[in-house]
Amino acid sequence: MNTVIFAVVVLAVLGAIFGLVLAIAAKVFAVEVDPREEAILGCLPGANCGGCGYPGCSGYAAAVVKGLAPVNACAAGGEAVAAQIGEIMGVSAGASVKQLAQVHCTGCGQNYKQYHYVGLHDCVAASKLPGGGDLGCSFGCLGLGSCEKACPFDAIHVIDGVAKVDEEKCKACGKCVDVCPRHIIALEPYKTKRHVTIPCSSHDKGVDARKVCDNGCIGCSLCAKNCPKEAITMVNNLAVIDYEKCIGCGICAQKCPRRLITVDGKVPEVKPAAPKAAPKAAPAAAKPAAPAAEAPKAEAAAQPKE
Amino acid sequence: MDWTNLFTIALGAVLINNFIVSQFLGICPFMGVSKKIETASGMGLAVIFVMGLASAICWPINALILVPLKLTFMQTVTYILVIASLVQFIEMFLKKAMPALYEALGVYLPLITTNCAVLGVVLQNTQNSYSFIESVVYGVTGGVGFLLVIVIFASIRERMEFSECPKAFEGFPIALMSAGLVALAFMGFSGLKVFG
d(CA A158, CA B180): 45
Could you give the 3-state DSSP secondary structure of residue B159?
Answer: helix
d(CA A268, CA A278): 19
Chain B residues inside the 8 Å CB shell of A19? 85
A16 touches chain B (CB under 8 A): no
Residues of chain A with pLDDT below 50 are 274, 276-306
Domain's final residue, options A58, A80, A96: A96
A2 touches chain B (CB under 8 A): no
* β-sheet bridge partners, residue A239: A234
Could you give the 3-state DSSP secondary structure of residue B72?
Answer: helix
Whether A199 and A253 map to the same domain: the answer is yes
Q: What is the pLDDT of residues B48-86, one digit of tens each?
A: 988 999 999 999 999 998 888 888 888 899 999 988 888
pLDDT score, position B150: 92
Chain B residues inside the 8 Å CB shell of A25? 89, 92-93
pLDDT score, position B124: 92
> How many C-beta atoms surround the C-beta of residue B191 within 10 A?
7
Residue type, A79: E
- Judge: B71–A10 Cβ closer than 8 Å, yes or no: yes
Of the residues A28, A31, A32, A66, the best mutation for testing chain B's interface (the one with the most B CB atoms within 10 Å of its CB) is: A31
- Of the candidates B74, B93, B96, which has its C-beta nearest A7's C-beta? B74
Cβ atoms A162, A143 nearer than 8 A: yes
pLDDT score, position A136: 85
Q: Is residue A295 part of a domain?
A: no
Q: Is residue A221 part of a domain?
A: yes
Q: What is the CA radius of gyration of chain A?
A: 27
pLDDT score, position B140: 94
Instruction: Give which of A16, A4, A17, A12 is closest to B73, Cα–Cα.
Output: A4
CA distances from B175 to B22, B48, B168 (A): 17, 24, 12
Cβ atoms A148, A103 nearer than 8 A: no
- Find the residue in A nearest to B78 (Cα): A11
Q: Is residue A128 part of a domain?
A: yes
pLDDT score, position A64: 83
Q: Is residue A301 part of a domain?
A: no
**A237-243 contacts at long range (C-beta below 8 A, 24 or more positions apart):** A237/A202, A237/A203, A237/A204, A237/A205, A237/A206, A237/A209, A238/A198, A238/A200, A238/A201, A238/A202, A238/A203, A239/A198, A240/A198, A241/A196, A241/A197, A241/A198, A243/A188, A243/A189
Q: What is the mean pLDDT of residues B164-182?
A: 89
pLDDT score, position A293: 45
- Judge: A31–B82 Cβ closer than 8 Å, yes or no: no
Q: Is residue A104 part of a domain?
A: yes
Q: Is residue A8 part of a domain?
A: no
pLDDT score, position A300: 45
Share of chain B above pLDDT 70, in %: 95
B92 touches chain A (CB under 8 A): yes
ipTM score assigned to the predicted complex: 0.74
Chain A residues inside the 8 Å CB shell of B89? 21-22, 25
pLDDT score, position A150: 87
Q: Is residue A286 part of a domain?
A: no
d(CA A140, CA A148): 16
Range of A160's domain?
98-190
Whether A69 and A130 map to the same domain: the answer is no
Q: Is residue A168 part of a domain?
A: yes
> How many C-beta atoms surround the C-beta of residue B159 within 10 A?
10
- C-alpha dihedral, A169 to A172 to A178 to A180, nearest 10°: 40
pLDDT score, position A192: 59
d(CA A226, CA A297): 13
Instruction: Give which of A132, A140, A139 is closest to A110, Cα–Cα.
Output: A140
pLDDT score, position A280: 45
pLDDT score, position A17: 92
Cβ–Cβ pairs < 8 A, chains A and B: 47
pLDDT score, position A301: 44
In CATH, what number is assigned to the domain containing residue A162?
3.30.70.20
- Of the candidates A3, A14, A30, which has its C-beta nearest B81's C-beta? A14
Number of structural domains chain A divides into = 3
CA distances from A242 to A226, A275, A287 (A): 14, 30, 20
